[in-house]
Amino acid sequence: MKIDATDKVFAGSIPDLYDTYMVPLFFEPYAEDMATRLAERHPKRVLEIAAGTGVVTRKLSATLPASSTLVATDLNPAMIGHAQARGTARPVEWRQADAMKLPFGDGEFDAVACQFGAMFFPDKARAFAEVRRVLRPGGTFIFNVWDRIEDNEFADVVTSSLAQLFPSDPPRFLARVPHGYHDLAIIQRAVAEGGFDRTPEIHTIAARSRATEARIPAIAYCQGTPLRNEIEARDATRLEEATNVATEAVAAKFGRGPVDGKIQAHVLVAAR
Protein backbone atom coordinates (compact mmCIF):
# COMPACT_ATOMS: atom_id res chain seq x y z
CA MET A 1 0.00 0.00 0.00
CA LYS A 2 1.77 3.11 -1.26
CA ILE A 3 1.12 6.48 0.41
CA ASP A 4 1.76 9.50 -1.83
CA ALA A 5 2.54 12.95 -0.49
CA THR A 6 -0.82 14.32 -1.67
CA ASP A 7 -2.74 11.51 0.08
CA LYS A 8 -2.24 13.28 3.41
CA VAL A 9 -3.01 16.81 2.21
CA PHE A 10 -6.29 18.02 3.71
CA ALA A 11 -6.05 21.75 2.93
CA GLY A 12 -7.89 24.59 1.21
CA SER A 13 -11.63 23.93 1.15
CA ILE A 14 -11.23 20.20 1.88
CA PRO A 15 -11.60 20.42 5.71
CA ASP A 16 -14.91 22.29 5.44
CA LEU A 17 -16.31 20.01 2.73
CA TYR A 18 -15.02 16.95 4.61
CA ASP A 19 -16.84 17.99 7.78
CA THR A 20 -20.01 19.02 5.92
CA TYR A 21 -20.34 15.93 3.74
CA MET A 22 -18.03 13.08 4.76
CA VAL A 23 -18.74 13.20 8.49
CA PRO A 24 -22.53 12.77 8.41
CA LEU A 25 -22.42 10.39 5.45
CA PHE A 26 -19.75 7.97 6.62
CA PHE A 27 -18.13 8.75 9.96
CA GLU A 28 -20.92 9.45 12.45
CA PRO A 29 -21.98 5.85 13.23
CA TYR A 30 -18.41 4.70 13.74
CA ALA A 31 -17.59 7.74 15.88
CA GLU A 32 -20.55 6.87 18.10
CA ASP A 33 -19.34 3.28 18.35
CA MET A 34 -15.80 4.32 19.25
CA ALA A 35 -16.89 6.83 21.88
CA THR A 36 -19.17 4.25 23.50
CA ARG A 37 -16.41 1.61 23.61
CA LEU A 38 -14.01 4.06 25.24
CA ALA A 39 -16.48 5.49 27.73
CA GLU A 40 -17.29 1.99 28.98
CA ARG A 41 -13.65 1.67 30.10
CA HIS A 42 -13.78 4.85 32.24
CA PRO A 43 -10.34 6.12 31.19
CA LYS A 44 -8.84 9.03 33.10
CA ARG A 45 -6.70 10.41 30.27
CA VAL A 46 -7.45 9.84 26.58
CA LEU A 47 -5.41 10.63 23.48
CA GLU A 48 -6.96 10.82 20.02
CA ILE A 49 -4.64 10.67 17.04
CA ALA A 50 -5.57 11.56 13.43
CA ALA A 51 -8.58 13.42 14.83
CA GLY A 52 -9.41 15.11 11.53
CA THR A 53 -12.22 17.64 11.88
CA GLY A 54 -13.12 16.26 15.30
CA VAL A 55 -16.15 14.00 14.87
CA VAL A 56 -14.81 11.47 17.40
CA THR A 57 -13.47 14.28 19.59
CA ARG A 58 -16.94 15.79 19.84
CA LYS A 59 -18.48 12.41 20.65
CA LEU A 60 -15.82 11.69 23.28
CA SER A 61 -16.19 15.10 24.88
CA ALA A 62 -19.90 14.41 25.34
CA THR A 63 -19.59 10.72 26.34
CA LEU A 64 -16.49 10.25 28.51
CA PRO A 65 -16.82 10.45 32.30
CA ALA A 66 -16.62 13.99 33.67
CA SER A 67 -13.31 13.18 35.33
CA SER A 68 -11.64 12.22 32.03
CA THR A 69 -9.27 14.53 30.17
CA LEU A 70 -8.94 14.49 26.40
CA VAL A 71 -6.05 15.39 24.10
CA ALA A 72 -6.79 15.47 20.34
CA THR A 73 -4.11 15.57 17.64
CA ASP A 74 -3.80 15.56 13.87
CA LEU A 75 -0.96 15.94 11.40
CA ASN A 76 -2.83 18.63 9.42
CA PRO A 77 -3.10 22.07 11.06
CA ALA A 78 -6.06 22.94 8.81
CA MET A 79 -8.07 19.99 10.15
CA ILE A 80 -7.20 20.84 13.76
CA GLY A 81 -8.17 24.48 13.17
CA HIS A 82 -11.53 23.44 11.76
CA ALA A 83 -12.16 21.05 14.65
CA GLN A 84 -11.31 23.72 17.21
CA ALA A 85 -13.67 26.18 15.52
CA ARG A 86 -16.51 23.64 15.73
CA GLY A 87 -16.08 23.40 19.49
CA THR A 88 -16.64 20.58 21.98
CA ALA A 89 -18.84 19.89 24.99
CA ARG A 90 -15.84 20.15 27.34
CA PRO A 91 -12.34 21.60 27.15
CA VAL A 92 -10.02 19.62 24.86
CA GLU A 93 -6.27 20.02 24.49
CA TRP A 94 -5.58 20.30 20.76
CA ARG A 95 -2.11 19.52 19.39
CA GLN A 96 -0.63 19.27 15.93
CA ALA A 97 1.25 15.96 16.03
CA ASP A 98 2.64 13.24 13.80
CA ALA A 99 1.44 9.79 14.86
CA MET A 100 4.85 8.45 13.86
CA LYS A 101 6.51 10.54 16.56
CA LEU A 102 4.07 11.47 19.30
CA PRO A 103 5.15 14.41 21.52
CA PHE A 104 4.17 12.70 24.78
CA GLY A 105 5.95 10.77 27.50
CA ASP A 106 5.83 7.05 28.10
CA GLY A 107 2.63 5.75 29.71
CA GLU A 108 0.80 9.09 29.78
CA PHE A 109 -2.59 7.80 28.63
CA ASP A 110 -5.17 5.22 29.68
CA ALA A 111 -6.59 4.97 26.17
CA VAL A 112 -5.74 5.99 22.61
CA ALA A 113 -8.34 6.36 19.87
CA CYS A 114 -7.85 6.59 16.13
CA GLN A 115 -10.75 6.74 13.67
CA PHE A 116 -9.90 5.94 10.03
CA GLY A 117 -6.36 7.25 10.37
CA ALA A 118 -4.20 4.11 10.41
CA MET A 119 -4.35 3.71 6.63
CA PHE A 120 -2.55 7.06 6.25
CA PHE A 121 0.45 6.10 8.40
CA PRO A 122 3.51 5.49 6.17
CA ASP A 123 4.87 2.93 8.65
CA LYS A 124 1.98 1.28 10.48
CA ALA A 125 4.09 -0.76 12.90
CA ARG A 126 6.06 2.32 13.91
CA ALA A 127 2.87 4.29 14.55
CA PHE A 128 1.42 1.43 16.59
CA ALA A 129 4.67 1.26 18.59
CA GLU A 130 4.29 4.95 19.39
CA VAL A 131 0.73 4.33 20.57
CA ARG A 132 1.92 1.49 22.79
CA ARG A 133 4.71 3.66 24.20
CA VAL A 134 2.33 6.44 25.36
CA LEU A 135 -0.18 3.95 26.83
CA ARG A 136 0.11 2.92 30.45
CA PRO A 137 0.28 -0.83 31.19
CA GLY A 138 -3.28 -2.13 30.94
CA GLY A 139 -4.29 0.72 28.64
CA THR A 140 -6.43 0.32 25.52
CA PHE A 141 -5.91 1.26 21.87
CA ILE A 142 -9.10 1.41 19.80
CA PHE A 143 -8.90 2.11 16.08
CA ASN A 144 -10.96 1.42 13.00
CA VAL A 145 -10.27 1.01 9.29
CA TRP A 146 -12.55 0.79 6.30
CA ASP A 147 -13.24 -2.64 4.84
CA ARG A 148 -12.56 -3.32 1.16
CA ILE A 149 -14.05 -0.88 -1.31
CA GLU A 150 -16.52 -3.46 -2.67
CA ASP A 151 -18.25 -3.40 0.74
CA ASN A 152 -18.53 0.40 0.64
CA GLU A 153 -20.91 1.05 -2.19
CA PHE A 154 -20.70 4.80 -2.78
CA ALA A 155 -16.88 4.75 -2.76
CA ASP A 156 -16.87 1.84 -5.20
CA VAL A 157 -19.27 3.51 -7.62
CA VAL A 158 -17.44 6.85 -7.53
CA THR A 159 -14.07 5.17 -8.15
CA SER A 160 -15.43 3.20 -11.11
CA SER A 161 -17.03 6.28 -12.64
CA LEU A 162 -13.79 8.29 -12.50
CA ALA A 163 -11.93 5.43 -14.20
CA GLN A 164 -14.18 6.04 -17.20
CA LEU A 165 -13.42 9.76 -17.15
CA PHE A 166 -9.64 9.27 -16.87
CA PRO A 167 -9.15 5.84 -18.53
CA SER A 168 -5.39 6.16 -19.07
CA ASP A 169 -4.67 7.15 -15.45
CA PRO A 170 -7.69 6.58 -13.19
CA PRO A 171 -7.73 8.30 -9.77
CA ARG A 172 -7.47 5.42 -7.28
CA PHE A 173 -7.13 7.26 -3.97
CA LEU A 174 -10.26 5.72 -2.42
CA ALA A 175 -9.33 2.14 -3.30
CA ARG A 176 -5.62 2.66 -2.62
CA VAL A 177 -5.71 4.45 0.76
CA PRO A 178 -9.00 4.62 2.73
CA HIS A 179 -10.05 1.17 1.48
CA GLY A 180 -6.55 -0.17 0.91
CA TYR A 181 -5.81 -1.28 4.47
CA HIS A 182 -8.49 -3.85 5.20
CA ASP A 183 -6.62 -7.17 5.29
CA LEU A 184 -6.97 -8.22 8.92
CA ALA A 185 -3.95 -10.53 8.85
CA ILE A 186 -1.75 -7.66 7.68
CA ILE A 187 -3.22 -5.29 10.27
CA GLN A 188 -2.78 -7.79 13.11
CA ARG A 189 0.82 -8.36 12.08
CA ALA A 190 1.55 -4.62 12.19
CA VAL A 191 -0.09 -4.36 15.63
CA ALA A 192 2.12 -7.20 16.87
CA GLU A 193 5.21 -5.60 15.30
CA GLY A 194 4.27 -2.45 17.20
CA GLY A 195 4.73 -4.38 20.45
CA PHE A 196 1.17 -5.36 21.35
CA ASP A 197 1.59 -8.96 22.47
CA ARG A 198 -2.09 -9.85 22.70
CA THR A 199 -4.26 -10.46 19.65
CA PRO A 200 -6.67 -7.51 19.27
CA GLU A 201 -10.40 -7.93 19.41
CA ILE A 202 -11.92 -7.43 15.95
CA HIS A 203 -15.45 -6.29 15.21
CA THR A 204 -16.68 -5.90 11.62
CA ILE A 205 -19.54 -3.41 11.55
CA ALA A 206 -21.82 -2.69 8.61
CA ALA A 207 -23.92 0.47 8.50
CA ARG A 208 -25.90 2.53 6.00
CA SER A 209 -24.89 5.79 4.38
CA ARG A 210 -27.85 7.96 3.39
CA ALA A 211 -28.18 11.24 1.53
CA THR A 212 -31.05 13.27 0.14
CA GLU A 213 -29.60 13.13 -3.38
CA ALA A 214 -26.85 11.48 -5.41
CA ARG A 215 -24.75 14.62 -5.69
CA ILE A 216 -23.97 14.65 -1.97
CA PRO A 217 -21.72 11.54 -1.89
CA ALA A 218 -20.19 12.68 -5.19
CA ILE A 219 -19.20 16.05 -3.69
CA ALA A 220 -18.08 14.35 -0.49
CA TYR A 221 -15.55 12.14 -2.24
CA CYS A 222 -14.55 14.25 -5.26
CA GLN A 223 -14.18 17.55 -3.42
CA GLY A 224 -13.93 16.73 0.30
CA THR A 225 -11.07 14.21 0.30
CA PRO A 226 -7.58 13.96 -1.23
CA LEU A 227 -9.27 12.31 -4.21
CA ARG A 228 -9.70 15.95 -5.25
CA ASN A 229 -5.91 16.30 -5.38
CA GLU A 230 -5.70 13.33 -7.74
CA ILE A 231 -8.43 14.70 -10.02
CA GLU A 232 -6.87 18.15 -10.19
CA ALA A 233 -3.40 16.67 -10.79
CA ARG A 234 -4.78 15.07 -13.95
CA ASP A 235 -6.66 18.17 -15.11
CA ALA A 236 -7.38 21.08 -12.77
CA THR A 237 -10.25 22.25 -14.98
CA ARG A 238 -12.23 19.00 -14.69
CA LEU A 239 -13.14 18.84 -10.99
CA GLU A 240 -16.76 19.86 -11.62
CA GLU A 241 -17.01 17.46 -14.55
CA ALA A 242 -15.66 14.66 -12.37
CA THR A 243 -18.20 15.50 -9.66
CA ASN A 244 -20.99 15.43 -12.25
CA VAL A 245 -19.85 12.07 -13.62
CA ALA A 246 -19.75 10.63 -10.09
CA THR A 247 -23.21 12.09 -9.38
CA GLU A 248 -24.66 10.44 -12.46
CA ALA A 249 -23.08 7.09 -11.56
CA VAL A 250 -24.47 7.18 -8.01
CA ALA A 251 -27.92 8.18 -9.33
CA ALA A 252 -27.87 5.42 -11.94
CA LYS A 253 -27.24 2.77 -9.27
CA PHE A 254 -29.15 4.14 -6.27
CA GLY A 255 -31.89 6.30 -7.77
CA ARG A 256 -32.70 9.93 -8.54
CA GLY A 257 -34.13 10.75 -5.14
CA PRO A 258 -32.67 9.90 -1.72
CA VAL A 259 -29.81 7.41 -1.91
CA ASP A 260 -28.82 4.66 0.52
CA GLY A 261 -25.62 2.61 0.33
CA LYS A 262 -23.80 0.06 2.45
CA ILE A 263 -20.66 1.00 4.37
CA GLN A 264 -18.49 -1.40 6.36
CA ALA A 265 -15.48 -1.08 8.66
CA HIS A 266 -13.34 -3.10 11.06
CA VAL A 267 -12.94 -1.98 14.69
CA LEU A 268 -9.86 -3.26 16.51
CA VAL A 269 -9.32 -3.14 20.28
CA ALA A 270 -5.74 -3.78 21.40
CA ALA A 271 -4.68 -4.03 25.06
CA ARG A 272 -1.30 -2.77 26.25
CB neighbourhood size of 270 (10 A): 26
Write out pLDDT tens, residues 92-126. 999 999 999 999 999 999 999 999 999 999 999 99
Cβ pair 111, 41 in contact under 8 A? yes
Burial bucket for residue 271 (CB in 10 Å: 0-12, 13-18, 19+):
middle
Cβ pair 46, 77 in contact under 8 A? no
Looking at residue 188, its pLDDT comes to 98
- CA-wise closest residue to 143 among 156, 155, 127: 127
Write out pLDDT tens, residues 165-187. 999 999 999 999 999 999 999 99
Res. 9: pLDDT tops 80: no
The one-character DSSP state at 226 is T
SS3 54: coil
Q: What is the pTM of this model?
A: 0.92
CB neighbourhood size of 34 (10 A): 26
Cβ pair 75, 96 in contact under 8 A? yes
Looking at residue 15, its pLDDT comes to 78
Looking at residue 18, its pLDDT comes to 84
The residues with which 263 forms a beta bridge, in sequence order, are: 207
Q: Where are the alpha helices (DSSP H) in the chain?
A: 14-17, 28-39, 55-63, 77-86, 124-134, 153-165, 173-176, 184-193, 215-224, 227-234, 239-254
Write out pLDDT tens, residues 10-64. 546 677 888 899 999 999 999 999 999 999 999 999 999 999 999 999 999 999 9
- CA-wise closest residue to 110 among 60, 149, 151, 144: 60
Residue-range domains of the chain with CATH: 5-271 (3.40.50.150)
SS3 72: strand
